[in-house]
Amino acid sequence: MNEPHLQRNQPPDVPPLALTGERTLPDVPEENYWFRRHLAVYEWIAARVRGLLVADLACGEGYGADLLAGAAAEVVGVDANPEAHGHARLRYRRANLRFERGLVESFAGPVDAIVFLQTIEHIHEPGPLLERFAAAAPLSYVTTPNRLTLAPPGAEKSENPWHLREYTAAEYRSLLEPHFSHVDLHGLYHARKLRLHELAIRAGWDQVHPALRITKPFYDRFVPAIAASDFTLRPGSQCDLDRALDFVAVCRR
């Protein structure tokens, strides 16, 4: 059995977390694509919560709560996992940032905004949780992967064992709208070098690199070089959401 990847280069008093697939992590080169995909959305949200009291629910390792705290007036990161909680409170320290260990289903607020990234697909009963969000905050940012671009064609969901259900754009909107007065959907897409990589694959790149025996050396360099700027967010009214990587829902009470 392969050993799990551990975070690299952590401060001396911070225990590194192991990559299990349940949550993404920074400081793991092999995971950099997924980390930057999440980070791009956190950066987009941070620009929109300046000066607000924010709860980052299911905050995991804590990097997102820390990023939000660079703009928000105050941020609380909430996660039930003891290892993730212990790591986050040691790794990220700001006067306006704190971490609490607890279930997201128990969070009552009040706060100005809730951030809930890439976790609704892990929830057994998402409806009651979304109702709690609407009661706890006037604004919620809730994201999830697009089943149409994550799972194999025709499959009900991807092979990620942590995901209970994955959504199309129409299904996601139907899930959210009963709990909020207004829902805006945005789509996350590849940009810059990831867009070029997409075009290269369409042109036959996946046949070329194995034939040249450069797959590992190429991707050993390419994946760690991916940045948050290699993703872009577009309003649902201006794009084909069925082709999005992730859906970013801006939900107002």
CA triple 18-23-27, angle to 5 deg: 55
Q: What is the DSSP string of the chain?
A: -PPPPB--S--TTSPPPB--SSS--SS-GGGHHHHHHHHHHHHHHHTT-TT-EEEEET-TTSHHHHHHHTTSSEEEEEES-HHHHHHHHHH---TTEEEEE--GGG-----SEEEE-S-GGG-S-HHHHHHHHHHH-SEEEEEEEBHHHHSPTT-SS-S-TT-S--B-HHHHHHHHGGG-SEEEEEEEEE-HHHHHHHHHHHTTHHHHHHHHT-HHHHHHHHGGG--GGGEEEEEGGGS-GGG-SEEEEEEE-
The whole-number pLDDT of residue 3 equals: 61
Segment 35-38 long-range contacts (CB within 8 Å, at least 24 positions apart): 35/63, 36/226, 36/227, 36/228, 36/230, 36/231, 37/188, 37/231, 37/245, 37/246, 38/64, 38/117, 38/118
Find the domain containing 67 and state its range.
29-189+233-252
Confirm whether 216 is domain-assigned: no
The whole-number pLDDT of residue 22 equals: 86
Confirm whether 171 is domain-assigned: yes
Q: Which pair of tokens denotes residue 131?
A: 């109702």
Confirm whether 17 is domain-assigned: no
Which whole number is the average pLDDT over 226-249? Answer: 96
pLDDT (tens digit per residue) in 171-207: 999 999 999 999 999 999 999 999 999 999 999 999 9
Confirm whether 62 is domain-assigned: yes
Cα 93 from Cα 70, distance rounded (Å): 11
Confirm whether 172 is domain-assigned: yes
Which whole number is the average pLDDT over 86-94? Answer: 97
Confirm whether 242 is domain-assigned: yes
The whole-number pLDDT of residue 4 equals: 75
Q: Is the pLDDT at 89 greater than 70, yes or no?
A: yes
Residue 230 has φ and ψ, to the nearest 5°, of -85, 10
Confirm whether 86 is domain-assigned: yes
The whole-number pLDDT of residue 2 equals: 53
pLDDT (tens digit per residue) in 94-145: 999 999 999 999 999 899 999 999 999 999 999 999 999 999 999 999 999 9
Confirm whether 159 is domain-assigned: yes
Q: Is the pLDDT at 1 greater than 70, yes or no?
A: no
The whole-number pLDDT of residue 162 equals: 92
In the chain, the number of structural domains is 1
The whole-number pLDDT of residue 166 equals: 97
pLDDT (tens digit per residue) in 5-55: 999 999 999 999 999 888 999 999 999 999 999 999 999 999 999 999 999
Instruction: Enumerate the β-bridge partners of residue 55.
Output: 76, 114
CATH number at residue 57: 3.40.50.150
